[in-house]
Amino acid sequence: MDPERLKEIEERLELLAERLGYRIRPSRHQSFVRGGAEQVEERLRDLAEFTIELHELVAELVGLLAAAASGRRGG
């Protein structure tokens, strides 16, 4: 397994969590659908962006793990 690529994926996950994690997690006193339509729309956009980026990172990680597993079997 490529340790540098794994480290890069880990760093990107950290950055994603720092950048959007707090925006999609409702506070204790705030419901997800509370507020005006614009606020709800903004939070849904943040959630969509977070989900898409997370999917891309997980797909890269799965590819990395699959390559490592096939490398062990083949070599």
Condensed to tens digits (0 to 9), the pLDDT of residues 44-67 reads 999 999 999 999 999 999 999 999
Contact 12, 57 (CB under 8 A): yes
Mean per-residue pLDDT for 37-43?
Answer: 89
Q: How far is CA 73 from the centre of its chain?
A: 30
Q: What is the pTM of this model?
A: 0.76
- Please tell me the distance from the alpha carbon of residue 61 to that of residue 58, in angstroms, as a whole number: 5
- Please tell me the distance from the alpha carbon of residue 63 to that of residue 1, in angstroms, as a whole number: 10
Residue 17 has what DSSP assignment? I
